[in-house]
Amino acid sequence: MRHLWILALITAALVIAGPLFLDRFTVNVLTRSMTFAILAVTVDLLWGFTGILTFGQAAFFGAGAYATAMVLTHLGSTPGLMVLGLVLSIGLPVLLAAAVGWLTFYPGASDFYATVISLVVPIVVTQLIYSGGTWTGSSSGLVGYFALDLSLGGYFRLAGLSLVAVVVAALIFVRSDAGRVLTAIRDNETRCAYLGISTQKVKIALTAVLAGVTGFAGFIYANSSGVVAPENAGFVFGTQLVVWTALGGRGTVIGPALGAVAIDYLSAQLSGQMPFLWQLVIGTLFVVMIIFMPNGLAALATGWRRMRRPADGVSPELVALPPRAGRGGPAGAEPLLQIEKLEKSYGSQKVLEDITLEVRRGELVSLVGPNGAGKTTLMRCMTDGKVASGGSVRIHGTGIHGMVPDQIVACGIGRKFQVASVFDSLTVAECLRMARVSHESPSFLRSADSLSLPQAAIEILRLTGLDQHLGREVSLLSHGQKQSLELAMVVSLEPELILLDEPTAGLTAAERATIGKVLVRLTSELGLAAILVEHDLDFVRDISSRIVVLHQGRLVLDGTVEEVVNDEIVKRIYSGGDHV
């Protein structure tokens, strides 16, 4: 962090001194380049960090620039109106972005869709500008209004200091606990949702806030250049921003900023003489970089740094949370989960039919059945209110129909997936912190020194030795460690009901025993309920309090371990099921 501030101060000093020794041409060109670099930083936050590939920043930039220029042209340029222009240049893009975000980010929307919409937005905004007649100046743009009374050097400093401020703010943010949520969404959006994080809301908020920053850059541009034109809002400009970000190095903040300044400055120097060749060179460079060096030029620097970095980074101190009040009521009271006549069909094919099931506190219910019996589908029906085709699922008596996963998680359900679902680019500690985001808002400024987790989660970490590797990047963990980490994350949610889809698949016998121990303790001692999908009947027999058998989409048996294990039907299903 110290390095960051020193670097920021040096850059700011350079920016302030710049106009004294740079010629006028360079000052003008760099003023624009630095304004555009602010946009590249916002593109990087969206694309590099959060995984939203967007061409739409141009539209928000245009909206901000036009808001300013229209106020100055049609209303006047008194200080009061200048402030109005500033407010509108930020507010308008924020509103626009919130609307676009709502349209783009809904549960189940694909990444492609977001990208294509981001292409439509600049086209629509440009069309509005063209159709705006004298209000927007149509294709000619607006010119000849009185802008902020600054010298060329003044604008240079305004743009430069704004860029430094945005870069510093962005760096602080992405390194903070809140900023890591973005990377978590990029790595594994589903897991985020099942940790109770509303990824849609995060994305919409991010889009809106960054649109505000972009609009502010538009305000600077409208003032410093004294003209706005439709192409400022066009998708060609939007794609340029992405090109700069890609070449500079996505996911580094500084890379895209430098990339934007360097390429824009170079193009001012070179493209004037050889426009088509310049485009060709940039295009070729871009394709080659995307294929062979997806992290841009900055990757050279960070790659070198990474090689020198030890495997384990900084690890925070673990702090045990006091047990939640009102928990651990008597086992067997009011049912926690009630499933009634649940159905799921794909067209005419029924995958689940007439499932009725209740689960109470303290129970560890195992769900068994041959492949294709519908076990995983049943799990999905319990965690996503849009999956079931009929019947009802209630938690604490509340129906979950139509709810999205993060809402259901908030009702007290945690789900562990079959294949370990964690965040590969985060550290162990950061992954665990993600599980706490829905309970305590993370800091936007810093990375906390301590990590508060429920005692049970800490125990899982201790038992599996993960507490020794809190600072290690998850991609370096073994398969078993990842499974344990995910279980610890789910437990950190402090759910009342845990759904586990084959938590022991691919684990060693020792790891298996450890997990079994943890599960028994969670249910019988802490009063949680758990539903476990499992193939290993021995494991099931050892830990379950009840077993439910699914076969061909129907619930064929629901009883104690003894009842089920000795049941003839189960034996038949299992002996025949292996061949199905």
Among 98, 486, 476, 81, residue whose Cα is nearest residue 306: 476
By DSSP bridging, strand 390-395 and strand 398-399 are antiparallel
- 304 in contact with another protein (CB under 8 A): no
In angstroms, the first-to-last Cα distance of the chain is 60
Asked if 50 and 184 count as a contact pair (C-beta separation under 8 A), the reply is no
| Least Å from the CB of residue 148 to another protein | 13
- Residue 127 Cβ vs another protein, minimum distance, rounded to whole Å: 6
Residue selected from 72, 142, 204, 359 as contacting another protein according to rule CB under 8 A: 142
Cβ neighbours of residue 283 under 8 Å, at least 6 residues apart? none
**Per CB under 8 A, which region of 3-11, 108-116, 309-317, 558-566 contacts another protein?**
108-116
> Which residues ranging from 184 to 203 are in contact with another protein (CB under 8 A)?
none
Q: Whole-angstrom Cα distance, residue 220 to residue 158?
A: 8
- Kindly list the distances between the CA atom of residue 91 and the CA atoms of 85, 238, 269, 273, 351, in Å, as whole numbers in the listed order: 10, 20, 35, 39, 49
Shortest separation between residue 512's beta carbon and another protein, angstroms: 27
Q: Which residues neighbour 244 within 8 Å (Cβ) at sequence distance 6 or greater?
A: 36, 37, 40, 43, 256, 259, 260, 263, 264
Please state the closest distance from residue 402 (CB atom) to another protein, in A. Answer: 14
Count Cβ atoms below 10 Å from residue 320 Cβ, excluding itself: 13
Q: Contact between 152 and another protein (CB under 8 A)? A: yes
Contact between 239 and another protein by CB under 8 A: the answer reads yes
- Is 580 among the residues that bind another protein (CB under 8 A)? no
Among 7, 103, 513, 561, binds another protein (CB under 8 A): 103
Q: Name the residue nearer to another protein (CB basis): 377 or 464.
A: 377
Residue with tokens 């928000």: 60
Q: Binding to another protein by residue 371, rule CB under 8 A?
A: no
Q: Exposed, middle or buried by CB within 10 Å (0-12, 13-18, 19+), for 252? A: buried
d(CA 426, CA 472): 8
For residues 528-567, which are near another protein according to CB under 8 A?
Answer: none
Interaction residues for another protein, span 257-276 (CB under 8 A): 267-276
Residue 546 φ/ψ, nearest 5 degrees? -150, 155
Residue located via tokens 């808001």: 67
Candidates 3, 20, 21, 108: give the one binding another protein (CB under 8 A).
Answer: 108
Residues 26-55 that bind another protein (CB under 8 A): 28-29, 32, 47, 51, 53
Choose one: 72-80, 203-211, 283-291, 388-396; the region binding another protein (CB under 8 A): 283-291
Complex with another protein: residue 1 or 236, whichever CB lies closer: 236
348 sits near another protein (criterion: CB under 8 A) = no
Would you count residue 146 as binding another protein (CB under 8 A)?
Answer: no
Q: How far is the CB of 25 from another protein (least distance, A)?
A: 4
Please pick, from the candidates 117, 185, 210, 489, the single residue that binds another protein as defined by CB under 8 A: 117
Under the binding rule (CB under 8 A), the answer on residue 298 touching another protein is no
Per the rule left: phi > 0, alpha: psi between -120 and 50, beta: everything else, 487 is alpha
